[in-house]
Structure 1
């Protein structure tokens, strides 16, 4: 019922009817799009909406393709508010029909967000010269409607840069490398083939992320050999990982290494499999909030 009333009531409201509709959208001269993050771990495309806030598309490095959209408002909603997102033609394209994209709910004191499929639809509509617009009832004046539009002017060049950034995102996220266990070959300082690949992922991610504050490196051995020798081996292994990290731009002061020797076993040292599991280095990474 609400959808029917909204489409009938909102989509037919002329933008020139300022007594009923307050419309926030950048003019031809004001409309600017910016790629504010362009790296293998994050892509961000932003658009300023004069007197209202900004529109932000973003995507993070991940195993899955993802896209988030946030309508960042200078003044957050004072109450839970239903809104309709519509693709609307700009004034210089008369006769082009409007198209409803989705319905959303603004939560109190939070920025507006849309489902991921709707975010992709918004990008597609902008690329076609359309103007995605949010319609909702004013929080303080129930007789007034508010329209918040994203201008397609000057969009395409920045959109192409954003798409290029998306194609270069790493196929794994911070969470995938924040706790990494590496294993060593028996009796030496060399990582197993699988752990070498894991280490390369950690190195690659850290080389792009300036927000990493602390890297903890804890090394362990199996129980074969004298304890003092195992202690030294674990320190050597931890320092080798530290050297790897420093070579990829992580400051020495942010890396804390500890060699635990043959303590804190994960499995029995009576089997080859168990000893393989106990010869390990655990990397734990923390970021600033």
Structure 2
């Protein structure tokens, strides 16, 4: 298509194309600056799916569907263009976020030397569409650094463990492997984030059996969870343990599923100031 058919093409010249990687065990980011447009950003937070975001310096696209195409660069005259489908965009400063599957696809296309082109009509009403281009020039080295960063990410982030429920079999104070894994994730995260300094542990049961026995069982469950966390390196003076028996159900005790939800120990984490997780700028 002729160049004059586009309202604007936002693209980094080949000799200026660069990708920047920054990250930590909490999050990783790979950014591509696009002159007169803004940035394209690949981002992954610990415990979350990877995403791709467009970060314009000002509004560009009209709300609707944009085309996503993998195009062969000029130095690959026999290369093929691949239509990657339509994606939803909206007018504003955060016009586009791609889910993990599409994010991984465009990463693969860039690694193969293709460029990624996002095309949509501009918000100000021009008939011609605008194009935003991600260049693959100097991408490979940055991609390697990005993958190395991803390999170091923690298994979870703070939001995922801030409030955790540990579930127990009926009448028992033993734990399944899936519940032990939750406690392991809490311990791993807290060792990396010194701002988490308080643990509130509360034991609960369903309503089956004697109330007094249930109160004692909830105590055993809560103390068991606290013991496991202490064994994993959580300071004892940061842990507060309480038990409530069957007093505070979160679901009906009339069904098997409801009772299973009530047989729990809840863990609430609290940050008490001090050094915290260094966050990368989201924009």
Identify whether the pair has TM-score above 0.5, normalized to the shorter chain: yes
CA distance in 2, matches of 1:231, 1:118: 46
Q: TM-score, normalised by structure 1?
A: 0.65
SS in structure 2 opposite 1:86?
A: strand
SS in structure 2 opposite 1:142?
A: coil
Residue ranges of structure 1 left out of the alignment (5+ in a row): 1-11, 267-276
List aligned pairs for 1:147-162, cutoff 5 A.
147-162=131-146
> What's 1:34 paired with?
20
Per-residue CA shift, 1:144-168, capped at 9, x if unaligned?
3311111112211121222234445
Task: Work out which of the residue numbers 127, 130, 137 in structure 1 matches 2:121.
Answer: 137
Q: How far is the alpha carbon of 1:29 from its aligned partner? A: 3.9
- Checking the alignment, whether the CA contact within 8 Å between 2:72 and 2:114 is kept in structure 1 is yes
SS in structure 1 opposite 2:16?
A: coil
List aligned pairs for 1:191-206, cutoff 5 A.
194=177, 196-206=180-190
> What's 1:13 paired with?
2
> What's 1:89 paired with?
72
> What's 1:181 paired with?
166
Number of equivalenced pairs: 255
- Checking the alignment, whether the CA contact within 8 Å between 2:202 and 2:244 is kept in structure 1 is no
Per-residue CA shift, 1:49-72, capped at 9, x if unaligned?
12211111223444xx94311111
Q: How far is the alpha carbon of 1:138 from its aligned partner? A: 2.1
Residue ranges of structure 2 left out of the alignment (5+ in a row): 250-260, 272-276
- Checking the alignment, whether the CA contact within 8 Å between 2:60 and 2:123 is kept in structure 1 is yes
CA distance in 2, matches of 1:213, 1:55: 36
Per-residue CA shift, 1:189-224, capped at 9, x if unaligned?
x98575654422211133345786964333569976
Change (3 A) 1:131 1:262: closer
- Checking the alignment, whether the CA contact within 8 Å between 1:52 and 1:74 is kept in structure 2 is yes
Q: TM-score, normalised by structure 2?
A: 0.66
CA distance in 2, matches of 1:72, 1:211: 30
- Checking the alignment, whether the CA contact within 8 Å between 2:183 and 2:229 is kept in structure 1 is no
> What's 2:30 paired with?
45
- Checking the alignment, whether the CA contact within 8 Å between 2:19 and 2:138 is kept in structure 1 is yes
RMSD of aligned Cα (Å): 4.6
- Checking the alignment, whether the CA contact within 8 Å between 1:44 and 1:56 is kept in structure 2 is yes
Task: Work out which of the residue numbers 19, 35, 41 in structure 2 matches 1:56.
Answer: 41
Q: How far is the alpha carbon of 1:125 from its aligned partner? A: 1.2
> What's 2:253 paired with?
none
